[in-house]
Each structure stands twice: as structure tokens, then as C-alpha cells.
Structure 1
Amino acid sequence: MRNTIPTPHARRDAEGPTLYPVVQELVGSLQRRHADTGVPLPQLTVDVSPGHVLPGDAEIVKSLLEQWLAEAVRAAAGNAAMARSAEVVITSVQYADRLEVEIADTGPAVAQRRGTSEAVAGRLRTAAEQTLLDRLQAAVRLDDCPEGGVALTLCLPRQSLRRAAA
């Protein structure tokens, strides 16, 4: 299977780094690790604009996305036979007040993921993840997708709004 990853040039906006190179690095690393296992990687689709500014600490965002992307791949792939038809999609939408990053997969529903992830709707698996989210003043939501699988949405408020709230 072919992984769909566009390759526009990374840039740094006046407000901070952009999301695209972070996602590109995470996906590339995941592909390299899976190449050695012999287990097919699910179809990875990246629909992230190169102009989406990453509000907050890029390293914290990267750490959270890396963990959640790996969980989505494990949930979607399940086993080698499932991996051939599995898919993980990473999208982002920039609003005036926030950036939303979604990782959606074709794995089992939230309630069926006990073996893959301890996440339950509206809560995170670890206190460490919550600490990182608190540092970003960000929120995360888990939703079952109507066509199956789960969508995890990370909502990152813009820096200027965080300063105003402080």
C-alpha cells in the first residue's frame, strides 16, 4: 500500500512553527520503524496544510501526537491481514481562535479498545498526557466515527487567546 504524504516546504510563520513538518517527521519515523517489522503499515493519509501555525510548545504537541498516532496505527492494523485494508487519517483545521488536529482510524470503537488503549470518551489514558495538555491549555476529544473507528481531536487555542486568559 502506498502512503499519501504531500511534501510542501516547511515554513515558520510569524506566530511560530507550522504543524506540517511535525506531522511529516512523525509519519516518516513511523514508516521507518514499521519497515523493519514486516507488518504492513495501515494506509496513512496526511491532510495538513503547510500554513497551519502550531500554537504552543511544538515539542509537547509532537510528543502527544506521536503517542496518539502510534495508538491509532495499532488499533487500525490489529493484525497483518487487517493492516492491508486499515487506514489512519491525520487532518488539521485552523480557526480564528484555535487549531484542531484530528487522528482518525478504522480500528474498533472506543469502548472496544481496552487491549489497545485505556482511553475512554472524554478522558485520557495517563496523568502525564493530561499534564502536557494542561501546559498547552489544550483539550482532546475521542469520538466513535459513524463508519467505524475512532477520531481523536486535539484542540489547541491560539497563543494570543491563552495570554488574554492568563
Structure 2
Amino acid sequence: MSDRSILTADQMEQLSDILQGILANYPVSTDLAAHILANFSAEVDNWSGARPFVLVYTGWRGASRDRVRADLDDVLKRVGPFHLIVGYNVEEDEPDGGDRYAYEWAITTPGITVETRPAPWRIPKLKRAAGPYRNGLMLGLAIGRGGPHGVLAHLHKESRGAAGTAAFAEHLGVPIWKRPA
């Protein structure tokens, strides 16, 4: 993919105007409309322009919401708008803790796109391995997209999943920010 955008500024403005017209026809608050427009612009930029930074989030279920938000804000300041991959299950609203807080932060932060990859716990043959399989998939997705990538890991001595993801990321040579949960 080229670093040159395949959409002109005028085309981007036209798409934004179309979306604004659609939003005007629905009972959407001003704040929500602004959030939708900001994320739409970021998504189109990511799709049509240079490859975005991809961040894989992994964290302990007991992670501090304030810590997760502060560290994600720090990554945003360092790398600019990015795409977040997180193992949160939106339909089941699980797991608690770091993954949920990272997802909540992403959907409320302009310039951030988010992709959820819940663990396939319902596959009987995976049993306890569903989490590690999912974590490996998230790392593979970040690496496979070919652009800049990294991992933010909120670690705690009781967090085997986040610690395993961080260890595998290091083994693969993925840049990682390790933070206490």
C-alpha cells in the first residue's frame, strides 16, 4: 500500500458531508455525532492512507481504569491516532478490567479505531487454551498488517494471560510497553 492517500481532500469532505446528513436524520446527540464523525475520519484515513500504528492491548482483569486510560493517552501522544486490537467481548461484556477499560477508552477517543477479538471459549476442544490462542491471533494481526505496531501490557503477578501475551510479543520482537496494572 502506498503512503499516498487514495482519496483527495475534496472526496474526504464529501464523505464527511454525506455522513453528517445521515446523522442529521436520526436522534443522535451532538457529542455522539462529533465522536462518530471523528472516528469515521480516522477509519477512512486508516483505510485509504498510510498504514496506521496498530496497538495490541493486554491487561489484568484487576487493572486500574485510571491507569489503563492514562497509559493509552500516553501511547496516543507518542504515536498519534492508532488502531487498537483488544480481547474484549462486546456481546458478553467481558472480561472485566483492563480489556473493558481499553475498549471503553477507544470508543470514546477521537482518532482511535478499535477491533475486538474475544477468546473462543465456546469451542469445547480449546478448553483453557482459548485465551492464549486469541492473544496469539491479536499479535499476528498486528504484525501481519505490515505497518508500525506494538503492545501495551498491564501486568500483575496474578495475570497469566497478559504476562503470556507480553512474553510472546517479546519473543516475536514486537515493541512492548509494560506497565503495572
Using CA pairs under 8 Å that are at least 6 residues apart, name the structure with larger relative contact order, 1 or 2: 2
TM-score normalised by the chain length of structure 1: 0.27
Structure with greater helix share of residues? 2
Structure with greater strand share of residues? 1
Larger Rg: 2
